[in-house]
């Protein structure tokens, strides 16, 4: 009976020490998380990502890269394939894209109004389109045929009806189609 009191206060001391240790661990984790937020925040504020490209929504249809006659697939003098398109409520322009199979294709796209986006079939071609910014990525398509390209960002009442087609052609077919053509698309005219 005599030993009960010291035993009890000893176990209480052990519990307090353990609680203090865990409080220190939790405090240290919180400090680390806050420090990470501060450091990354300051870093991003001081050095914005170098790849951000902006475009003026009010004038992009009048001049520059995204005028109507420059949209579609372009084959550069160096053989590089670039697809330019714009998204608007509720369509893509061009509505039908042509790309060669097994060839790196660079997409450059933007939106004129709301936030849109697209994904091409089951490929990894997938991006958001934000007004005022140029989205760009390079990918290759490994299967010929036609793929659907729906808008995948809810952009208003016509969102479900907003999609384009992509035709992936063999190298020979693509070459034949693109010969002598400055901007290629499969839009029926
Ligand atoms: Cu455009 Cu959804």
- Of 25 and 1, the structure prediction assigns the larger pLDDT to 25
- Measured by CA distance, the residue closest to atom 1 of ligand 1 is 116
What distance in Å separates the CA atoms of residue 149 and residue 134, rounded to the nearest whole number? 18
- State the pLDDT at residue 43: 87
Q: 53 and 60 in contact (C-beta within 8 Å)? A: no
Helices (H), 3-135: 4-46
Q: 94 and 164 in contact (C-beta within 8 Å)? A: yes
Chain CA centroid to CA 128, Å:
5
What distance in Å separates the CA atoms of residue 70 and residue 89, rounded to the nearest whole number? 20
Q: How confident is the model at residue 143 (pLDDT cuts 50, 70, 90)?
A: very high
Average pLDDT in the 128-146 region?
95
Name the percent of the chain lying above pLDDT 70: 96
Q: What is the pTM of this model?
A: 0.74
Of 98, 99, 71, give the one whose Cα is nearest residue 86.
71
What distance in Å separates the CA atoms of residue 93 and residue 164, rounded to the nearest whole number? 8
Average pLDDT, the chain: 92
Is residue 1's pLDDT more than 50? no
Q: 129 and 116 in contact (C-beta within 8 Å)? A: yes
- Output the ligand 1 site: residues, CB below 6 A: 87, 90, 116, 151, 153-155, 159, 162
Is residue 4's pLDDT more than 90? no
Of all atoms in ligand 1, which is nearest to the CA of residue 155? 2
Is residue 5's pLDDT more than 60? no
Is residue 90's pLDDT more than 70? yes
Of all atoms in ligand 1, which is nearest to the CA of residue 162? 1
Of all atoms in ligand 1, which is nearest to the CA of residue 116? 1
Name the percent of the chain lying above pLDDT 90: 79
Structure tokens at 14: 């052990």
Omega of the bond leading into 97 within 30 degrees of 0 (cis): no
Lowest-pLDDT range of 9-13, 47-51, 185-189: 47-51
């Amino acid at each position: 009976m005599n030993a009960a009191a010291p035993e009890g206060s000893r176990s209480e001391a052990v519990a307090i020490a353990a609680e203090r240790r865990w409080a220190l661990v939790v405090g240290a984790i919180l400090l680390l998380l806050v420090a990470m937020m501060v450091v990354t925040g300051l870093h991003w504020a001081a050095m914005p990502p170098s790849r951000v490209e902006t475009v003026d929504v009010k004038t992009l249809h009048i001049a520059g890269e995204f005028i109507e006659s420059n949209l579609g697939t372009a084959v550069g003098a160096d053989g590089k394939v670039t697809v330019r398109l714009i998204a608007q409520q509720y369509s893509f322009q061009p509505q039908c894209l042509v790309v060669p199979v097994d060839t790196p294709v660079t997409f450059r796209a933007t939106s004129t109004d709301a936030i849109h986006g697209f994904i091409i079939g089951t490929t990894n071609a997938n991006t958001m389109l934000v007004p005022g910014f140029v989205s760009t990525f390079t990918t290759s398509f490994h299967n010929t045929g036609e793929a659907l390209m729906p808008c995948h960002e809810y952009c208003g009442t016509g969102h479900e009806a907003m999609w384009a087609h992509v035709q992936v052609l063999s190298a020979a077919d693509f070459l034949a189609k693109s010969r002598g053509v400055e901007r290629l698309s499969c839009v029926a005219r």
